[in-house]
A and B are shown apart, each in its own frame.
Chain A
Amino acid sequence: MKDRSLKKVLTIGSGPIVIGQAAEFDYAGVQACRALREEKIEIVLVNSNPATIMTDEEIADKVYIEPLTSESLEEIIKKERPQGLIATLGGQTGLNLACELYDKGILDKYNVKLLGTNIESIKQAEDREMFKNLMTQIQEPVPESAIVSSYEEAVEFSKKIGFPIIIRPAFTLGGSGGGIAKNEFEYGEIVHSGLSQSPINQVLVEKSIAGFKEIEYEVIRDKNDSCIIICNMENIDPIGIHTGDSFVVAPSQTLTNNEFQMLRSSAIKIVKALKIEGACNVQFALDTTSNRYFVIEVNPRVSRSSALASKASGYPIAKIATKIAVGYNLHEIKNAITGKTAAFEPSLDYVVTKIPKWPFDKFSTGDRMLGTKMKATGEIMAIGRTFVSSFKKAVTSLEERYTGLLERGFKELGDEELLKQLYMQDDRRIFRLAQALANCIDINKLNEITKIDKWFIYKIKEIVDLELELSKTNISKELYIKAKEYGFLDSEIAKLTQTSIEDLKSYNVEPSYRLVDTCAAEFEAYTPYFYSTYSEDDEVEEYKEKSREDDKKPKENIVVLGSGPIRIGQGIEFDYCSVHAAQELSKHGYESVMINSNPETLSTDFDIATRLYFEPMNIEYVANIIKKEKPKGVLVQFGGQTAINLAEKLNKEGVKILGTSLESINATEDRKIFEKVLRELQIPQPKGCAVTSAQGALNAVKEINYPVLVRPSYVIGGRGMQVVYNDEELLTYITEAFKFSSEHPVLIDQYIEGQEVELDAISDGRDILIPGICEHIERAGVHSGDSMSIYPSRNISRKNEKILVKYATKIARKLNIKGLMNIQFIIKDDKVYVIEVNPRASRTVPIMSKVTGIPMVNIAVSAILGKSIRRAGYGVGLYKKSNLVSVKMPVFSWQKLNRIDPALAPEMKSTGEVLGVDRTYKKALYKVFLAGGYKFKNTKQRVLVSLNDHNKKPALPVIKKLFKQGFFIMATWGTHKFLEKNGIPSKMIEKFMIDKLQKRMKNGRLSFIINTPTTGKNSQNAGFQIRTIAQMYGVPSFTSIDTANAFLTAHKVFDKNTQLTYDTITNYRKKKFLGLFK
């Protein structure tokens, strides 16, 4: 039963989105909070990530958007005095923090109980040596391994065991710092980076069992020792590729009952031995030719896999884990979907496929090889009644340029080259496999090379064969139905069979929707979700009827389009918006219908929208759902570019787009119209034009003059965007840009290096409400998603503030904006230019909602539905400022991605963000660096400075500041000379002495680097190399002098020994005099 002593509980979030730790912990955290609410427990929540739903004040009672450090947590604990702490829902970050709090005696000191799995169990699971010992004790097999804390020890092991060897650092997330070494050279590299990245300087080196099947079990145990398996999952990719980077199916497809149960029993035995109270993930390697298996690792917490398992099975793992944490046992908890007990194991009557979403389309220079270090930023999940349909839908869900398996440019490779490339384990391997199957290469051979189970290869061959059949045969209704059952899109079938889509539509073949109900239809389900299939019965009407309240008329519904997988430029913030939009709709008496393909998010939780369709964010799937649901209209402005990109196609299908009209959306995206609109409104803008050819581009720059900003239209996160300085660079980038999007022209703009300013507004077509204005710390030229930004703005004059509001109002009225809008400005020489208008929710909406207390999405939905924003109670125009000051900082995942230049550019590279909040700018700035993981040290160390010619002069005050603050400056030749001339002492260092630098970084004798990049993406240049090495050793490298300047300001706060205080976001927003009476 519930532990009645718990009145107040502290929950730790997982911080910024980074590779290996994404939206799944927001989903878990929110579920946890809702579970605690049900128990009437007061929730204190701490998270530095402002884009999350868990940091909403309606989710937790006290929301602290503060750095996740043991210092801040101690203060918060001291203030709030919670009886309990839940640490197993905040990813590796939450877990590591809980351990730290425990080790420092803070939990004991304030009498805080760690709820759920206890600290000994966590340590036993996380510490490689303790875990290995436990496994030996309970006779569970682990691969031969050694735990080492030095390179010498590591070599001892490799001599004994031979290569290949897997290296796994202790206590890091997503396997960061790990890898597989095939030889001594690679071994040295990976062991070094692993040791440096592990917080306890420990890595596990183990005999590689690459090629085994990788199987995972999601386990829940309660304190009464009841233990159940929620779901098992099989990686299509064999051991050797991180599960986060693997194609995964649920449930396992190729295991016999004996194998399934053998591993299930092992998982339970381990979880019982660890005395887990809550959720746990156990990973196994299973031999393909015997029943030999190994335990790979356990995660004593909810994880990405548990989010996937929850969505795949319908079982809310985080929620149940929370109930267990507050004292319940499994048999005392109900399964919300069936109304039966939660002490059961879901049975699936469908197949789930997960495919990771990698950022390689953005990072063209990035290393695409997959290994033990996770590289995917997000993932999609697809549900099908058969494996082939599930797999095909999953590939469609990736939202890539091509949807087919054979359109990936491998057709031209000969068999020999194809086979050679198949040995490469990168993100395109499955497509090479498909091409090899189309080329009729022997399946045994393909299995031998890829180690992918032949069952999967046979199934992929079925898809390939059908694709080939379609391209050879005339279409018939029978063949069409088969293709639909296999998950083919009409667009694919039309292209392959050279028929028109209209002809295909004349067959009148409709999809049917089936329920995910956790029990394979054994019991009636109450709050299920849907996926499409063909040639089966439909369950939507039946479900609607059953779920309708008695005698009530059916309500109208509105569709909310989600944002698909998390990727750079389109992150968790759009899930925040989608969820709020769905929730607001029900307040207005509508049913909400959510469509999304992302298993990590809250929007795909079964009880957020009235109905959820777990489907690809592809026009055909979306249109089919709309045909089924017959909504009043569709909301496209909350699901990021994914949703906006569907607007035009939906409009063509006759679907009503609610809010800002399609014409207005186009007006902001179409260069010419947009220019005209601004001209009419007499709003200055940088000179620019849209071109459709290279010659057009060359002509254009004659008028605009270099430097110019080049970018393709209709893209996410500034993909393919670049500042260019001459013809040569221009031509290179134009070609590149057309590669990404050939349908849309390339935009060329005058590049103004001024103060960048940004605002979000809500408009009802007449009035607009601007919660606040943000100013960027980095000067223009850095993507807004990658720049630090301050709210409220500090350097904008009253006069210009008024101009910003005036421009925004004019634009909103002119375009008849209904809902949200984001405008980006540049101020240079006291003149305000508008550079971009996005007629949709932006990345900053969750932040602005939180720092101002204005529920932006909710008001936007009201406005879309016709309510005046005046009635929302926040007035119109620019909302008043409070005493709160916030600084947003982007967070990058460099350590996960090799060979990528960390230099800030117009192209977005960050994966997440943190927010520093306080009552003064300096403290907020200091906090945001702490939240971003920067370490401040008392002893002053070396700083390497290397500036390009462009930046030397503007950097001078910053370098002076650096010197004054007592840092020892090392500078490259040109910079050294420049500093010398300006009277700043520095030690000259040869740019080419990279080895020496590397050594310094490794030994932690370099505090940070200030390195402004020269233009071009030349990976040979020394700056690039220095930055890359720095990212490998986790040495901060500032590529904008403005960021460096901000860091020095923050450092000063640290130097002064400033005592930080922590407060809830609600209190920060209160006026000071209110604070006095508290």
Chain B
Amino acid sequence: MGTLILEDGSIIRGESFGAQKELKGEIVFNTSMAGYQEILTDPSYAQQIIVMTYPEIGNYGINNFDFESENPQLAGFVVKNYSKHDNHYQSDKNLSDYLIENNIPALYGIDTRSLVKKIREIGTMSAWISYRDLDDDEIKQKLKEIQGFKVKNNIIEDVSTKEKYIYSSSGGINMAFIDYGAKTGILNSLAKRGCRLTVFPATVDSNEILEGNFDALFLSNGPGNPADYVYQINQIKNLTGKIPIFGICLGYQLLALAMGAKTYKLKYGHRGGNHPVINLENNKVMMTSQNHGYAVDMKDMPKLMRPTYKNLNDDTLEGFEVSGLGIYAVQFHPESKPGPLDAGIIFDEWINIAQKDIKRINEVQNER
């Protein structure tokens, strides 16, 4: 019997099917009905305990193809039911074995619907997840311990690559990519479309990027509160206008902050594969994959930033561009992983923009 303690004092018991470990984290829920493997390995979930709203998890096991990063970064995993017997031709191991191997505590047999309603009503909370049946004294102590817990303000340094590396060495666009905890899906989406990718750690200095003579810069997704990352925001400020910049999720938030916008914490975030986003130019709706707890404040935004996408559920901003400065960013995840592939066209659009920019620069240089 394992225990889950929420910041508001709720005690929820479930069976452990993960590592014999206990720790605190921020508790959030994800509404995707498939794709638990991608979610488990998305670095943006660092220090978070994920509750899956879909009740049957682990049905097709864990395979060797759908990892979004090398190791799972989340703090814990909570489900209604998991499959002791999985089945899929690609399956390499059972979900439970994977979680144990990777030292992630996990609970099943939890009334996840009630848990999700609580998070929906109170908002994202801190929580303690334990593989064992905690007694009252322990519970009291853990409850105290989790009060005021916040995701580390330099968490991106933990989940980012420590060293610069080349992800793909061929392709027409020479792109710098800052890894704040990037999902492999983004790197693949870019590489597939002809980007030569040099991946930099989250701590990279703007000069290093500029010296690299790249055609464009890409800012990845990542965990934590964007406003905490003052250093990164300053580096981005140094780069705007000097190189086309694209951003997804945290990358988008940091770009917005660098442009002078503000971010705020959403009550319980957007995490799932069914978020409707409308293209403000042509009113076309796309289903998008999302995973973020913060949003860019649309009301208090520099005029320069033109809104491009909006969430149809709560009208929050989902994308903006500053075309004069070559800045394009979206809050959602066009790479999917997991989730719908509808927004994949955004990569195509951006690649187009980058190519045009290269052409323009070449023409300018030729004229000179």
Contacts and interface: CB of A to CB of B under 8 A. Distances in A.
Interface string B54-76: 11100110010110000000000
Given A264-B340, A349-B53, A522-B31, A258 B66 contact: yes
A36 to B, nearest CB: 23
A224 B65 CA distance: 36
A458 B60 contact: no
Interface string A625-654: 000000000000000000000000000000
Contacts of A341: 276, 312-313
B113 A514 contact: yes
Contact of B38 (A257, A343, A350): A257
Contacts of A331: 276, 278, 283, 285, 312
A253 B89 contact: no
A433 interface: no
A251 B342 CA distance: 19
Nearest to B114: A537
B interface bracket (residues with beta carbon within 8 Å of A):
35 or more
A139 to B, nearest CB: 16
Contacts of A343: 276, 278, 285, 312
A687 B292 CA distance: 78
Interface in A476-530: 514, 519-524
B274 A345 contact: yes
Interface in A338-352: 340-341, 343-351
Interface stretch (B18-26, B80-88, B150-158, B199-207): B80-88
A225 interface: yes
Contacts of B120: 521-524
Interface string B226-268: 0000000000000000000000000000000000000000000
A329 B278 CA distance: 12
A388 B286 CA distance: 34
B284 A225 contact: yes
B274 A521 contact: no
Contacts of B33: 251, 260, 347-348
Given A228-B285, A455-B87, A386 B80 contact: yes
B274 A264 contact: no
Nearest to A443: B85
Contacts of A254: 59-60, 87-88
B339 interface: yes
A228 B35 CA distance: 19
A522 B283 contact: no
A344 B278 CA distance: 11
A794 to B, nearest CB: 59
Contacts of B341: 261, 264-265
Contacts of B273: 345, 347
Contacts, number: 162
A224 B81 CA distance: 40
A695 interface: no
Given A256-B34, A257-B34, A257-B35, A520 B54 contact: yes
A268 interface: yes
A753 interface: no
Nearest to A332: B283
Contacts of B276: 228, 331, 341, 343-345
A452 to B, nearest CB: 11
Interface residues of A, number: 52
| Chain A contact residues, majority secondary structure | loop
Contacts of B31: 347, 349, 519-520, 522
Contact of A522 (B54, B55, B272, B285): B272
B316 to A, nearest CB: 13
Contacts of B53: 347, 349, 520-522
A385 to B, nearest CB: 5
Nearest to A542: B117
A290 interface: yes
Nearest to A249: B56
A290 B34 CA distance: 18
A866 B287 CA distance: 53
B308 interface: no
Interface in B335-368: 336-342
Contacts of A264: 340-341
Given A257-B34, A341-B312, A344-B276, A351 B56 contact: yes
A345 B312 CA distance: 12
A521 B312 contact: no
Interface string B25-51: 000010111110110000000000000
B112 interface: yes
- Interface centre among A256, A265, A349, A350, by most chain B C-beta atoms within 10 angstroms, is A256
A614 B46 CA distance: 39
B278 A521 contact: no
Given A331-B312, A343-B312, A386-B56, A261 B63 contact: no
B34 to A, nearest CB: 4
Given A455-B87, A522-B31, 4 more contacts: A330-B285, A345-B287, A346-B274, A537-B111
Q: Which 7 A-B pairs have the closest CB atoms?
A: A257-B35, A520-B53, A257-B338, A226-B285, A458-B85, A454-B87, A345-B274
